[in-house]
Amino acid sequence: MFRLLILWPLLATSQTYAQGALPDAPALTLPQAAERVLRQNPRLASAQFARDAAATRSEDAALRPQWSVALDVENVLGTGPLSGFDGSETTLSLSRIFQVRDTRNARVAAASAYGETIDNQLESERLDLLALLADRFIDVVHRQERLRLATESVGVWEAANELATARERAGAAPAVDRLRTEIRVADAKLAEAGAEHELHAARMLLASTWGGGRKDFGRAAASLCRLQDLPAYEELAARVSENPDLLQFATEQRLREAEARLAVARQRPDWQLSAGIRHLEDIGEQALVLGVSVPLGATSRAAPAKQRAEALGRESLLRREAEELEARAVVFDLYEEVGHTVRTVEVFDTQILPRAREIRSEIERGYSVGRFSHTALINAQAELLAAASARLDACAAHHRLLVSIERLTGGEPVSLSSSAEVSP
């Protein structure tokens, strides 16, 4: 069955720019990063202890009431014939509460339902963390590409500066043209340095996702502008119910139902029986002692707990319906945005970038022989670079939207398919 294979094509590619990566470190793919998160993240490592604690709660609920031993000494240290221990009565007894079977079964069911809520919470946290990882991985790839583009921009403006310098030497252009391109070169180098710093910061943030204190990996291997097709919206909407956040409401409802059954079971009171031996000191004889204790008013005392559990159960049901409707609406909005990014990148690839390249090439050739002004050359260079940058932004937005859709439909945004990056 089709799954989003989120991130698509974000797999190894020799075209992805990798400044800021360790030169000898292997490239890092998203599945490899996810493996690090699942193995090393402290929050996920602590999840097992939460599950163990929930399991002990179930074990505790299954325990039967324990026996109690009691020693009573009466009629001692009094006055007259009861002075000292001459008239004492000593009773040694065993007692135990005998619960109705339904009470213990309902208590076990409630503890089990509580364990399910813990599992759903942990699964939700796991998917949140994987979605965060995917988003940060996209950011690293995006910044790698922006750094590559910034480096290419430096080369473009340096080439433009050479043209302006050549025309100045030939007396065909004023020095101001060269000075303006030198300013562009300086700006491009500043942008390149800024892009490199941003990439370093993004790599550190990515490493922190799995608890890493250093960037011990090479480039983030991915194909940013290999876009992913989506199934029909109806198929995605049908998978919204798989979201563990929504499953949490269903589990919570089962917990409330179990609590209501427990409250009903407690309307039948537990009996406490005791039996023992009494020694009468004054006559030197022993006798059996039997006792029974039954709490009164158990039905009325259990009624509020039952009503509370039933009310919370109805609340969970309605909240689930509301959250599912909201999630479906958000998925539709994201679905439309994904389609828009696909169309945007297609327009850049088929119309804007080819024409911007053609315009730049024509103006470069014409500028060298004096057919176009220096301003026209600068504008053509800037338009092409701006279009390439906007295309990268649209590609990154596409994959971030896919991650959000996958999270809302209960999937793991870590799947990749093999592809090769197409350089813009």
> Picking from 142-146, 196-200, 243-247, 250-254, which range would have the lowest pLDDT averaged per residue?
250-254
Check pLDDT > 60 for residue 258. Answer: no
Helix, strand, coil % over all residues of the chain, rounded to 5: 65, 10, 25
Show the tokens assigned to 244: 């563990």
The helix (run of H) or strand (run of E) holding residue 331 is: helix 298-347
Q: Which of 22, 397, 47, 52 minimizes the C-alpha distance to 212? A: 22
CA distance 40 to 130: 13
**Residue 6: pLDDT band with limits 50, 70, 90:** very low
More confident residue, 108 or 156: 156
**Residue 12: pLDDT band with limits 50, 70, 90:** very low
> Picking from 8-17, 47-56, 154-163, 257-266, which range would have the lowest pLDDT averaged per residue?
8-17
What is the model's pLDDT at position 216?
A: 76
Per-position DSSP letters for 243-261, written without gaps between them? -HHHHHHHHHHHHHHHHHH
Per the domain annotation, does 291 fall within a domain? no
What is the model's pLDDT at position 98?
A: 64
Per the domain annotation, does 78 fall within a domain? no
Is 0.85 surpassed by the pTM of this model? Answer: no
List, in sequence order, every residue forming a beta bridge with 280; answer none if it has no partner: 89, 285
Per-position DSSP letters for 360-413, written without gaps between them? HHHHHHHHHTTSS-HHHHHHHHHHHHHHHHHHHHHHHHHHHHHHHHHHHTT--T
- The CATH number of the domain holding residue 382 is 1.20.1600.10
Per the domain annotation, does 420 fall within a domain? no
* pLDDT single digits (tens) 46-82: 777 777 776 676 666 666 777 778 777 777 665 666 5
Average pLDDT over residues 187-202: 94
Show the tokens assigned to 349: 């690839």
Residue 56 structural domain: 30-62+103-259+321-408
Per the domain annotation, does 359 fall within a domain? yes
CA distance 61 to 55: 10
Q: How much of the chain, in percent, has pLDDT values that exceed 70?
A: 67
More confident residue, 257 or 66: 66
Average pLDDT over residues 227-234: 86
Check pLDDT > 90 for residue 308. Answer: no
**Residue 271: pLDDT band with limits 50, 70, 90:** low
CA dihedral 76, 79, 84, 89 (to 10 degrees): -30
Average pLDDT over residues 356-367: 89
Find the helix packing angle between 47-62 and 101-169, rounded to 10°.
170
Under 8 Å between Cβ of 111 and 57: yes
Under 8 Å between Cβ of 202 and 143: yes
Per the domain annotation, does 394 fall within a domain? yes
Average pLDDT over residues 333-351: 93
CA angle 351, 399, 207 (to 5 degrees): 130
Number of neighbouring beta carbons within 10 Å of residue 407: 23
Per the domain annotation, does 91 fall within a domain? no
The strand pair at 271-280 and 89-98 is best described as antiparallel
Average pLDDT over residues 379-384: 89
CA dihedral 5, 8, 11, 17 (to 10 degrees): -150
Per the domain annotation, does 22 fall within a domain? no
Average pLDDT of every residue of the chain: 77
Show the tokens assigned to 259: 């609590």
Check pLDDT > 60 for residue 137. Answer: yes
Per the domain annotation, does 343 fall within a domain? yes
What is the model's pLDDT at position 24?
A: 63
The helix/strand/coil state of 130 is helix
**Residue 368: pLDDT band with limits 50, 70, 90:** confident
| Count of structural domains within the chain | 1
What is the model's pLDDT at position 211?
A: 81
What does the DSSP 8-state code read for residue 422? P
What is the model's pLDDT at position 375?
A: 86
For residue 158, give every residue at least 6 positions away whose Cβ sits within 8 Å of its Cβ, in sequence order, or none. Answer: 185
Check pLDDT > 90 for residue 252. Answer: no
